Amino acid sequence: MKTRSITLCVNGRDYTFEVPHNRTLLQALRDDLKLTDTKYGCGSGECGGCTVLINGKDNINSCLTLAAEMEGKHITTVGGLTKNGQLHPIQQAFVELGAIQCGFCTPGMVMKTASLLAHNPNPSEDDIRRGLEGNICRCTGYENIIRAVQKASQMINASATQCAGGACS
Amino acid sequence: MSSHMSSRGLPEFELLIPRTSPEAMDMLAQHRDQLSILNGGTALWNYVRGRNRVTPYVLSLSALKGLDYINEIPGDGLRIGAKATIAQLIEHPAVSAKYAALHESGYWFGNPTVRNMATVMGNVLRASPSADCSCALLALGCQVILQNKSGQRAVDIDDFWLSYDVTARKPDELAVEIRIPEPKATTRSAFQRLTRVRQDLAKLNVAVRLEMDKGVCQQARIAIGCVGPTTMRVKKTEALLQGKAINDSLLEQLATSVRGEISPIDDQRSTALYRQQVAGVIVKRTISRAAADKGATQ
Amino acid sequence: MSDLTYVGKNIPKVDAKEKVTGQAIYAGDLQFPDTLFGKIVRCWEHAHAKVTHLDLSEAAKVPGVVKVLGPKDVTQKLYNCGVLDLLASEEVGHMLGEIEDQRIFTDYVRHQGDAICGIIAETQEIAEAAAAKVIVKYEPLPVYLQPEESAKPDAIQFDARKPGNKAFQLPEQMFPNNVYGWGDVDAEMAKAELIIENTFQLPKVKQCQIEPHAYVALFDQRGRLSIWTSTQMPKLVQNKLARLFEMPLSKLNLIPTTIGGGFGGKLGMIFEPETCAMALAVPGRHVKVQSLREEDWVASESRHPGKYWLKIGFLKDGTPVAADALFTADTGAYFTHATGVPFTTGAWLIGMYKYGAVRYKTNAYYTNKAPSGAFRGYGNPQTNFVLEQTVDQACRQLGIDPVEWRKRWHKQVGDDGWCLGIPYASSSLTECLERGAAKIGWAEKRAKYANQSGPKRRGVGVSVMNHTSGAMPMLLEHTVAKVKMNEDGSAVINVACSDVGAGSHTALTQIAAETLGIPMEDIYIDNNMDSAGFDVGSHASRTAYVGGGAVMKACEDVNRQLIERASTRLGIPVDQLEIKNRQVVSKDGKASMSVKEICNVGVSNYINPANGERNGVPGQIQGYASHFPSHNSPPFGACFAEVEIDIETGQTKVVEMVIAHDIGRAIHPPSVHGQLAGGAQQALGMTLTEEIRYDEKGLIQNNSFFDYKLFGPLDMPKLTTILVENPDPGAPYGLKSVGEAGTVNPVGAVANAVSHALGIMFTEAPITPERILKAVNERGIK
């Protein structure tokens, strides 16, 4: 199997490593870099558990993305939103609003929220529901997640320091 | 979906990432049908996983510059580059202002993540009868620009899908652009689809373009998906609209006519019977909405 | 409002921060040096076949493959991945006809996805590449997809112990005439002035926990077998594995990981046997097995489908004189839960209404579908679809308001619950019905939607349910809790209770904090299975109830010891002392001693060299409880749903839902709301979209989220949850369960709303647009 040497910037840190051509970004994150905060839920882009941010703004399914195509891109995972142990407002809102049950969809939901709020800082409830489509939660019925996104939007708008997408500058 | 033993990883292939268009053309010319083109990845990788096999080579468009545009050319129309995503499509002001059917098809397409990854061109190249943007494009009419080492050619969308999963693109060609003619001030269009839940492929989709003149339809294009091997036009039904004022009795006639023109099948998303029953309803509603110039994305 | 400090409070869950930062470790996230990867090779092309030829030689030659294991290379012992055998006595198990019929790797395929062999390799990719080189030849056998087919006399027999492929019926010794119920049904039914009789078809539905099954196992040089698993039932799986691999429990080290959702999908053993068998074959090396999403559908359990015949007779005034029921259950390819769900599906029927007489019978048959098992609600969603629609049909014909009928005829305090002989000790169902009806605007909407025209039709429906908190007395209920008081006065609670995500560790911490009178931050729930005593595990919505009872008792044991020590030290009788605000204080308020000091002195018990005296009572304080609850404190609930149906397309939109739940006391209200909302998502799926479909060869057609459609954020209705809190007298802090209950009531409420909108009752779930349009056309509704 042919390999390529790639450099990925994940959560602000550069990693240079060899990947087989058919390596997905999800495999590279989890298996090569041992960054297991991004989850495998279906491998077909339907559950959203593997959602990561590209260049601090756009969410993608890392299971449907080749690692080799991500050369030079800034990738943010849920772990990258936390700065010096300080929760990002989105994370804080998820904790406070009971938006987390089993937690397996949570990393993807949080990253999806980050992308949603980066594009639309004041979403309506309908915008939030539409914005979270593609990420399946089997535990919460989405109710507490939607409330958390509303709260996160308020928290971010009230704070001058933190942008929704968070990590990569 | 998979009836083969599945695996976590993708099957093996050699990834080609050309940096320039000529380089890409050379690779296409060299590997021809041994090569798949990777654009957004949402369609290709699921296609590959579903079959657990892939061509020996995969050509990624990721490093090609200048293909991610959506340009409105006044007096001419809309040009959509091969790498323009669905997310770009629905954010483009000219698309929502003048190409309602296309905008609506993008609006309902997949989910935000998929819209960030998937491209309009990829949707067309997948040659699936359930493709939403493809349905709108067929109704609007457009050309697909194909390029190989020796030059470009334009294929009309009506001639582009040859059958399920087969297009007019030759193995050495790269589809580089979609050109949609500029609508007149009196052109109306709309798109509607039915799904099982919100995030789904269509079980039926319909797009229409009407040339209206004081309440009379001068010309119509009606595209329907999921009722045959490719997204198709129902030309007899289109002809019924020509020169007619749109009213309830005409709409009933259209619904009946549509049923006679389609040949849906049973699949995981719906049944042939159901599609037969609702195709006319959705055509009626889409035409009414287009004629009334009411959006369906809110 | 209560005077409680921690119980009932809206505080962040104890595990929320680790989950929201991605630091929670699920089994698939585990990283060990020198890990090998196991791949279970499954039969994908047949649902019923003999393996005539298995050639592992090419797979073994793939560089990086460490070992290949065929059926003969692993234990030949049979097992049943379910756990009912550990929860009932051997005599009862024998009466029920529990059998073990599963193998780690098989040469006889009974359903698509049966495991054939295993590959162990240096990487996941190598294991998968080698798996593709395994050569298997099959002799296909006739495929039976319905009980009617497998029950035919000439059908191939799945198991000699189960003639006619009948896996289960209610046993004569426990249920005379194979009937669960009371009264003379035939005589009572003869009095009926209206009989509603239908056969309902129930779908096979998947748990779809978002975390696919994953494991790591290690057989170490000391002879211990360690298994990291996200099982819902750590102790029972530990017991099952110890039995299967013939090891003492002291050598079977089960390490529970964070659970990415269970819903019954991680109840009992799933792929632990295969994983452990692989680890045993490569001593000294960790083996990681990660299943794929598509594997989950074909190889693990799902909800029991079947045909449910129900006949209820009524008098004109609504009196339900008799109910007669037969559930023909499809247990799938293996025995698994063939006893449990078919029984409970009737139990929920029995527990609901004051019928004059009731007779429930059930037969479970093998088929070549994936095994049926536990899925949140354990038969109750099925019952809800059937019973609640039957009641509404009667109400329609009798001209009785469905809410009023339910208020009149639902069981009350003193009536027997799902288990005859165990009467309800509390019930707030009437209040649930009243508050829910007011919230959704029941009376106005029922009237408003009575006569509609046009393509969009609205309807509003109601449903009620009863459930349980733990499974006593039918099944064993037992949790051991140990509370170790640290020398600084903080506490570690050692229990085997798992938290499937429902928030049970948070609830247990709240209960401990409340009982001990110390802050939640000073309490940690320790899940070490070597040290933890027995616990049944997460099923039957029992953890807050039974686990909570155990934790409360163990904390009370700590308090008793603290007071005794303070009494000795202060010279004040124990009955004059109480614990307040981390102090043991005399009731007159004159003397006190801090909890921290008592704990510290118990540990650092110095001898004064001058006088040889100790500085207090020696010994570290530990509380202990081995708790067997005396009741099952069933919760009730009422649900209201409003739908809008497009009669030209059959599309249903659930517009609004109100769920009122008889919770007793909500220990952690956000979790209770979350359970109800999340349960609704699953119930709406079963009612409207979700069903595993098979082709004629018995191969699953929709083993992916592409074609098995779950409700997303835009599909969910506007949702209101109402918690009705009237504490149950026999429950810790008065709590009653919620988890499983969430999945029950929206099923019937939505189905009834659909019938209200259209005047058509659907006997087959899911109620798809295709089914609706067909029915609308047949009835000529315009």
Compute the mean pLDDT over every residue in chain C, rounded to the nearest whole number: 97
Q: H or E element: which one contains B148? A: strand B143-148
**A122 and A70 share a domain?**
no
* 8 Å CB contact between B258 and B279: yes
The domain that holds C239 is classified in CATH as 3.90.1170.50
Sign of dihedral through CA atoms B43, B49, B54, B59?
positive
Q: In this structure, which amino acid lies at residue A8?
A: L
Contacts of B17 in chain A (CB under 8 A): 68-69
Domain boundary among A80, A98, A132: A80
Residue C434 and residue C564 share a domain: no
The predicted model gives C227-236 an average pLDDT of: 98
How confident is the model over A112-164, as pLDDT tens digits?
Answer: 999 999 999 999 999 999 999 999 999 999 999 999 999 999 999 998 655 66
Q: How many CA atoms lie within 13 A of C592 on its CB side?
A: 15
User: Which band of pLDDT confidence, cut at 50, 70 and 90, is reported for residue B215?
Assistant: confident
Rounded to whole angstroms, the Cα distance separating B2 from B50 reads 6
Domains of chain B, each with CATH number or no CATH? 14-60 (3.30.43), 70-181 (3.30.465.10), 188-292 (3.30.390.50)
Considering just the CA atoms, what is the radius of gyration of chain A in Å? 15
- Res. A168 pLDDT band, cuts 50 70 90: very low
Using N-to-C axis directions, what is the helix angle for A125-132 and A106-119, rounded to 10°?
130
The whole-number average pLDDT for the span C266-280 is 97
Mean pLDDT of C153-162: 97
What lies within 8 Å, CB to CB, of C679 at 6+ separation is A141, C376, C739, C740, C741, C742, C743, C744, C746
Q: Give percent above pLDDT 70 in chain C.
A: 100
Read off the pLDDT band of C567 (50, 70, 90). Answer: very high
Decide if A164 is inside a domain: no
Of A148-162, B190-204, C192-206, give the lowest mean pLDDT range: A148-162
Cβ(A111)–Cβ(A77) below 8 Å: yes
Residue A169 has pLDDT above 50, yes or no: no
Q: pLDDT (tens digit, 9 = 90+) per residue, B235-264?
A: 999 999 999 999 999 999 999 999 999 999
Whether residue A26 is found in the same domain as residue A90: no
C689 with B196: Cβ contact below 8 A: yes
Residue C726 lies in a domain: yes
Same domain, yes or no, for C315 and C450? yes
Expressed as residue numbers, the domain containing C537 is 478-627
Cβ within 8 Å, pair B114-A134: yes
Which chain A residues have a beta carbon less than 8 Å from that of B117?
60-61, 64-65
Alpha-carbon separation of residue B46 from A44, B2, B11, C411 (angstroms)? 6, 10, 12, 52
Cβ distance B1 to C711 less than 8 Å, yes or no, reads no
Which CATH number does the domain housing residue A109 bear?
A: 1.10.150.120
Q: Which domain holds residue A139?
A: 81-158
Given a cut of 70, is residue B165 above it in pLDDT?
yes
Residues C651 and C615 in one domain: no
Say if residue C548 is in the same domain as residue C680: no
Looking at CA atoms only, how far is residue A72 from chain C in angstroms? 24
Q: CB C128 to CB B8 under 8 A?
A: yes
- Is B15 within 8 Å of chain A by CB? yes
- Among A22, A43, A51, beta carbon nearest to B113: A51
Which of A80, A102, A128 is the last residue in one of the domains?
A80
Encoded tokens for C103: 């193998």
Which residues is C136 bridged to in the sheet? C54
Are C68 and C102 in the same domain? yes
- Would you call A141 and C716 a contact, using CB atoms and an 8 Å cutoff? yes
Residues of chain A whose beta carbon is less than 8 angstroms from a beta carbon of chain B are 1-2, 4, 20-24, 27, 40, 43-46, 48, 51, 58-61, 63-66, 68-69, 112, 115-116, 130-131, 133-135
- What whole-number distance in Å separates Cα of residue A133 and Cα of residue A110? 13
Pair C592, C673 in one domain: no
**Contact criterion met (CB < 8 Å) for A134 and B117:** no
Give residues with Cβ within 8 angstroms of A58, minimum separation 6. A115, B87, B116
Q: Is residue A166 situated within a structural domain?
A: no
Choose among B9, B17, B117: nearest Cβ to A64.
B117
Do C376 and C435 have their domain in common? yes
Given this model, what pLDDT does residue C94 score? 94
- Please compute Rg for chain C using Cα positions: 28
CA–CA separation, C290 vs B189, rounded Å?
48
C→B contacts (Cβ < 8 Å), by residue, are 41-42, 44-45, 124-125, 128, 131-132, 290, 292, 294-295, 648-651, 689, 693, 699, 701-704, 706-707, 709-712, 714-715, 768-770, 773-774, 777
**Predicted confidence (pLDDT) per residue in C363-417, tens digit:** 999 999 999 999 999 999 999 999 999 999 999 999 999 999 999 999 999 999 9
Using CA atoms, how far residue C761 sits from B180, C195, C198, C367, C587, in Å, is 48, 15, 10, 28, 65
CB neighbour class for C554 (10 Å; exposed up to 12, middle 13-18, buried from 19): buried
Q: Which residues of C touch B274 (CB under 8 A)?
A: 650, 769-770, 773-774
Indicate if A72 and A121 belong to the same structural domain.
no
Residues A72 and A110 in one domain: no
Domain boundary at C627, C660, C675, which?
Answer: C627
A56-95 pLDDT per residue, tens = 999 999 999 999 999 989 999 999 999 998 999 999 999 9
Cβ pair C532, C493 in contact under 8 A? no
Q: Are residues C464 and C315 in the same domain?
A: yes
Residues C500 and C567 in one domain: yes
Spell out which residues of chain C touch residue A137, defining contact as CB-CB under 8 Å: 210, 678, 681
Residues A41 and A67 in one domain: yes
Q: C519: domain CATH number?
A: 3.30.365.10
| Cβ neighbours for C656, distance < 8 A, ≥ 6 positions apart | C440, C641, C642, C717, C718, C719, C720
End residue of a domain, out of C299, C321, C346: C299
Answer whether residue C450 is part of any domain. Answer: yes
Q: Confirm whether C167 is domain-assigned.
A: no
Identify whether A167 is part of a domain: no
pLDDT at residue C754 in the model: 98
Closest CA to C595 of C517, C494, C511: C517
Cβ atoms of residues C11 and C66 within 8 Å? no
Please say which residue of A35, A58, A80 terminates a domain.
A80
Q: At A62, which CATH number?
A: 3.10.20.30
Hey, is the C-beta of C280 within 8 angstroms of any chain A C-beta?
A: no
Residue at A129 is within a domain:
yes
| pLDDT tens-digit readout, C437-495 | 999 999 999 999 988 999 999 999 999 999 999 999 999 999 999 999 999 999 999 99
Which of residues C627, C643, C671 is at a domain's end? C627
Confirm if B61 and B38 have CB atoms less than 8 A apart: yes
Please judge whether A61 and B114 are an interchain contact, meaning their C-beta atoms are less than 8 angstroms apart. yes
pLDDT at position B200 over 80:
yes
What is the number of structural domains in chain C?
3
Interface chains of chain B (3 or more CB pairs under 8 Å)? A, C
Same domain, C589 and C636: no
User: Do the domain assignments include residue A12?
Assistant: yes
A163 phi and psi angles, rounded to 5 deg: -90, 160
Residues A100 and A65 in one domain: no
**Chain A interface disruption, residue of C20, C26, C639, most A CBs within 10 A:** C20
Contact A52, A59 (CB under 8 A): yes
Give tens-digit pLDDT for C345-366.
999 999 999 999 999 999 999 9
Size of interface A-B (CB pairs under 8 A): 88
The verdict on residue C708 lying in a domain is yes
Same-domain pairing of C437 and C485: no
**Domain shared by C686 and C765, yes or no:** yes
CB contact under 8 A, B7 and C777: no
Looking at the fold, whether A91 and A130 belong to one and the same domain comes out as yes
pLDDT band for position C616 (50/70/90)? confident
Give the chain A residue nearest B198 (alpha carbons). A133
Per the CB < 8 Å rule, is B41 touching A65? yes
CA distance B278 to B294: 21
A62 and A108 inside one domain: no
Q: Which of A94, A100, A113, A124 to mutate to test the interface with C (most CBs of C within 10 A)?
A: A100
Query: Which residues are paired to B222 by β-bridges?
Result: B208
From residue C239, how far is each of B204, C279, C528 by CA, in Å?
A: 52, 18, 15
Q: Could you tell me if A147 and A96 lie in one domain?
A: yes
* Interface ipTM above 0.90: yes
Is the separation of the CB atoms in C524 and C483 below 8 Å?
no
Pairwise CB contact (< 8 Å): A104 & C29: no
C205 part of a folded domain: no
Rounded Cα distance between C664 and C667, Å, is 9
Judged by a CB distance cut-off of 8 A, whether residue B175 touches chain A is no
Question: How many separate domains does chain A show?
Answer: 2
Count interface pairs A-C at CB distance under 8 A: 183
Give the DSSP letter string of C116-184: EEEEEESSHHHHHHHHTT-EEEEEE-----SHHHHTSTTSPPS-TTSGGGEEEE--TTTSGGG-EEES-
C689-693: long-range pairs with CB below 8 Å, 24+: C689/B196, C689/B197, C689/C766, C689/C768, C690/C203, C690/C205, C690/C206, C690/C766, C691/C203, C691/C204, C691/C205, C691/C765, C691/C766, C692/C203, C692/C204, C692/C205, C692/C206, C692/C297, C692/C302, C692/C369, C692/C370, C693/B268
The residue of chain C nearest to residue B3, with distances taken between CA atoms, is C44
**Based on the domain organization, do A74 and A9 belong to the same domain?**
yes
Rounded CA separation C544/C551 (Å) = 9
DSSP per residue over B22-58, as a string?
HHHHHHHHHHGGGEEEESSSHHHHHHHHHHT---SEE
